[in-house]
C-alpha cells in the first residue's frame, strides 16, 4: 500500500520466533492442567494458543487438554487469540476492545482471583522486552496461583545483517518514519542500537526526525519509556497502520527550506527541489541534513566529516561530497562555500523550517 502511494519502503526482521514444542516446562504444565484444571484461562496470542494445542497433540494430550480448559472461565486478549480458542472448540467469556494486557489484568482483578488457579498462555517476549512485566506478579499479589504457558519465545536477529543497516539508517536520519508491529521488535531496535554503540543517536533521531509509528499502544511502550513520541491508528491492525502512515506522515511535515530561489523539501531517502525528485548518495544526504539542521549558518568541515558514513579523518572527503551534492541538486548555489570555515545553505531571507 505504501509503495503504491510512492513511498520508498525498507524492511528487515528485528526478531525471529522459536517454537518450544519439546520444552519440559510446557509439557509438565500441560499435564498438570489436565490433572488439575484451571479456574481461569487467559489466551494472549493466536499463534501461541494454536502452538500449545499442536504441542499437546504431539504428546497425545490434545483432547484431554481441551476438555480440562473447557470448564474454565476464558479470557482472550484479542481477536487472533479468540479465533484460535474458537477453532479449538472453546468460547471466551470476555475480550477487551483495546487488546491490552493491562485491561485483561484489571478485568481479572476486579472479578476477584484470590485462591484461583489461572493458566496464562504468554507471548514470546523475554523479560527485558516484556511490554507489561507486571501481569503475572499482579495476579500473584492478588492471591492467584499462576501457571505460565510459554509456547514460543522471540530472539533478536543476528548481528551483521540487514537489521543492523536499518537501525543505522534510523540513527543517521535516512528515513522519515519507522513502523513497529510488536513491542519486542521495538525493544530489539533499541537493544541493537546499544550493541552497535549508536544508542544515543538512534534515540535522538526518533525523538526528533524519524517518526515512530506503532500498530498500537502496547507496541509503543518500549519507545515511550525512552521518551520517544509515537503515534498509532485507532484500530490495531496492519492495514490501519499502513493507512495511518500514509495519512499522517505528510501532515507531520518534512524539512522544507527556501534556498537560493528554490524550494528544498528533504525527505528520508531523497530531496525534492521545486517538486522534482533528486536522488542523493548516502554522503550527500548526510551533508544536506547536517546543513539543514542549522539553516543559513556555517557548518565546519570537521562537523560535516563526523556525519559522513564511515570513520574517515580527511576533510577532503567533505569537499568531494559537497561537490557531488551540488551536482545532484542541480544548482551549485544551493550550498555556499565559506572560505576557511565550511559550508552553509544559501537560505533565502524568508525561510521555512520543520
Q: Where are the domains of the chain?
A: 21-150, 162-252, 255-345
| CATH architecture entry for 255-345 | Orthogonal Bundle (1.10)
Sequence-distant (6+) residues with CB within 8 A of 110 are none
Query: Taking the CB of residue 157, how many other CB atoms lie within 10 A of it?
Result: 18
Going 323 to 324 to 329 to 330, the CA torsion angle's sign is positive
CATH number of the domain located at residue range(s) 162-252 in this protein: 3.40.50.10090
CATH, range 21-150: 3.40.50.10090
Q: What are 304-350's pLDDT values in tens digits?
A: 998 887 767 788 999 999 999 999 999 999 999 999 899 999 998 76
Decide: 75 and 92 in contact? Cβ < 8 Å.
yes
Backbone dihedral angles phi then psi of residue 150, each to the nearest 5 degrees: -100, 110
Residue 126 scores a pLDDT above 60: no
Residue 263 corresponds to which cell in the numbers above?
Answer: 524550494
Nearest-10 Cα torsion for 73, 78, 80, 82: 20
Q: Do domains 21-150 and 162-252 have the same CATH topology?
A: yes
Burial class (CB in 10 A: 0-12, 13-18, 19+), 264: buried
CA dist., res. 101 & res. 259, Å (int): 50
- Per-residue pLDDT tens digits for 239-290: 889 998 888 887 675 678 899 999 998 876 678 899 888 888 888 888 998 8
Amino acid at each position: 500500500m505504501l509503495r503504491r502511494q510512492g513511498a520508498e519502503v525498507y524492511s528487515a526482521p528485528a526478531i525471529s520466533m522459536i517454537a518450544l514444542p519439546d520444552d519440559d516446562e510446557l509439557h509438565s504444565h500441560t499435564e498438570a492442567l489436565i490433572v488439575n484444571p484451571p479456574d481461569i484461562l487467559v489466551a494472549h496470542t493466536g499463534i501461541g494458543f494454536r502452538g500449545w494445542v499442536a504441542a499437546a497433540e504431539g504428546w497425545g494430550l490434545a483432547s484431554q487438554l481441551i476438555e480440562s480448559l473447557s470448564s474454565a472461565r476464558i479470557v482472550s486478549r484479542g481477536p487472533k487469540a479468540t479465533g484460535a480458542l474458537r477453532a479449538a472448540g472453546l468460547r471466551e467469556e470476555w475480550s477487551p476492545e483495546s487488546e491490552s494486557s493491562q485491561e485483561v489484568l484489571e478485568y481479572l482483578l476486579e472479578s476477584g482471583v484470590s485462591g484461583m488457579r489461572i493458566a496464562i498462555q504468554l507471548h514470546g517476549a523475554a523479560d527485558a522486552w516484556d511490554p507489561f512485566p507486571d501481569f503475572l506478579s499482579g495476579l500473584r499479589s492478588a492471591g492467584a496461583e499462576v501457571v505460565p504457558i510459554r509456547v514460543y519465545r522471540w530472539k533478536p536477529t543476528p548481528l551483521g545483517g540487514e537489521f543492523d543497516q536499518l537501525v543505522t539508517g534510523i540513527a543517521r536520519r535516512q528515513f522519515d518514519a519507522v513502523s513497529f508491529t510488536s513491542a519486542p521488535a521495538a525493544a530489539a531496535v533499541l537493544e541493537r542500537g546499544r550493541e552497535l554503540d549508536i544508542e544515543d543517536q538512534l534515540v535522538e533521531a526518533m525523538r526528533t526526525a524519524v517518526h515512530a509509528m506503532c500498530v498500537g499502544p502496547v507496541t509503543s511502550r518500549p519507545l515511550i519509556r525512552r521518551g520517544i513520541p509515537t503515534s498509532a491508528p485507532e484500530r490495531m491492525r496492519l492495514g490501519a497502520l499502513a493507512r495511518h502512515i500514509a495519512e499522517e506522515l505528510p501532515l507531520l511535515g518534512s524539512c522544507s527550506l527556501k534556498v537560493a530561489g528554490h524550494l528544498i523539501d528533504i525527505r528520508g531517502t531523497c530531496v525534492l527541489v521545486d517538486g522534482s525528485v533528486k536522488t542523493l548518495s548516502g554522503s550527500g544526504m548526510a551533508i544536506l541534513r547536517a546543513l539543514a539542521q542549522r539553516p543559513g549558518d556555517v557548518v565546519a568541515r570537521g562537523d560535516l566529516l563526523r556525519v559522513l558514513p564511515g570513520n574517515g579523518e580527511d576533510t577532503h572527503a567533505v569537499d568531494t561530497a559537497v561537490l557531488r551534492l551540488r551536482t545532484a541538486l542541480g544548482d551549485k548555489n544551493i550550498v555556499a562555500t565559506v572560505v576557511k570555515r565550511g559550508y552553509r545553505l544559501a537560505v533565502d531571507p524568508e525561510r521555512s523550517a520543520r
